[in-house]
Structure 1
Amino acid sequence: MTETKFPQQLVERANPDRVSSALAASSNGTYVNGQQVEQAALSDGDLLSFGHHQMVFDDIAPHDYVDTGRVSLRAEGLRVTAGARNLLPDLSFALEECSLLAVVGPSGTGKSTLLEALTGNHPAQAGTVRYQDRDLYAEYADLRHRIGLVPQDDIPHHQLTVRRAIRSAAGLRFGADVTPAERDQRIDEVLDQLALTTHADQRIAMIRPSVEITRRRFRLVRRRSMVGL
């Protein structure tokens, strides 16, 4: 785990009760417990977020928040209608940490609608989604940095190398407060995680179809979703 910098952040003691004020200037916005702020009173245990970084206010100063990646997801009464069609009929279920759920069914049965609702891209008309007990819809501006959606179709730019395709995605997902060196470090980390380092400078269009190459290209799409996390 690397040390997280608090970009242009001022944290100061406000009174002896250890309630502090925080002022930030992050291009991605600064959030306290999921709510975007410019300045806010802090109490012990408050969660501060900016971009894909998180810090927790403990005692008199913010510290790196250790995210183990073990996140639960719960849907409660999701409902989506389109005219007379009921696409999601009050759907509720829970996914525990590190679980896998397959959504299967014929075309037009609401699979994409469900995924869009679960990720917050298109919230359900009724109901809530709770991400690690946080309201995804209410805190979407903050939590969206922690959710990746891999499309069914492979959509990288085929004339780019793997690394350049990743870098283009990183440029869209990271704010101006993330330096090029920090962005490249994250790209290298994700390439290593997905075993794509040796293919980083290979043009995507030159990849010939095969089972293994298909897996690599799928990993590339995954990586494009992961790079801003």
Structure 2
Amino acid sequence: MIVQDVVEEIIEKMNWANPDYGMSVDSILRKVTNVRDDLIRNYGPAQRQADAVVTQLDLLNGKSQYPLPCPPGNVVDVDVKGLWRGMYGGFLPCDCQDNWVQPLTYNTGTVTDDTPSVGDIPDCWFRMPYRQFDEHYNGPYYYFLSGTIGLVPKPCQDVPGGLKIFHVPVLGPLTKENLNGPTGFDPNFDMVLVFGVLKDVLTGAQAQEYVVKYQQWVLDYQRASNGFERFTVDLRW
């Protein structure tokens, strides 16, 4: 369905419920936008990851914070290049004078006589976990602060293209200029946008009818987009 189809479905069903119920197209589009963004944010992990784009930045020596290309809630994964987990179990601040003594360091692959054999460091990517100032976590992580993304530990060397931020593009609000385009939602489940608007604008028995339909479509959408296998194997013994 294109946006025009969604709007027409809403108007048609609203007129069935109440022929005198008037609502402008602009108002309907605002409500469709709100329902779409809420569904993707709360129920669509697979769609979020499938639609993700990547922003790649250079890691800079001693710099822990980098510009965030999107709202924090749109980030789905953060990878850094050259972060090496050393032989020690603990975590200490990175010592740029001796990158191989500390348990966690960034390294661009420069090999010296004292460098342990740890594989191909330049091609090694590390998936950073998310922690928001978690002082009890003993390891590397990323956090958000005032429109930036921060890294712990901070880089000890310049690593060109060493930071990848995978994120969902920011979808703009739907307007009349978008009527002939896609909604931005999973095209297999665009009817959930229709029911999501109707359950909010109607009242009484009509509203309850669309609440039930909306909940069923959301459940189907979750099953299709939760990112996990939906099948099990029963062991027979």
Q: TM-score, normalised by structure 2?
A: 0.21
Structure having the higher Rg: 2
- Please state which structure has a larger fraction of its residues in strand: 1
Larger relative CO (CA 8 A, sep 6+): 1 or 2? 2
Higher fraction of helix:
2
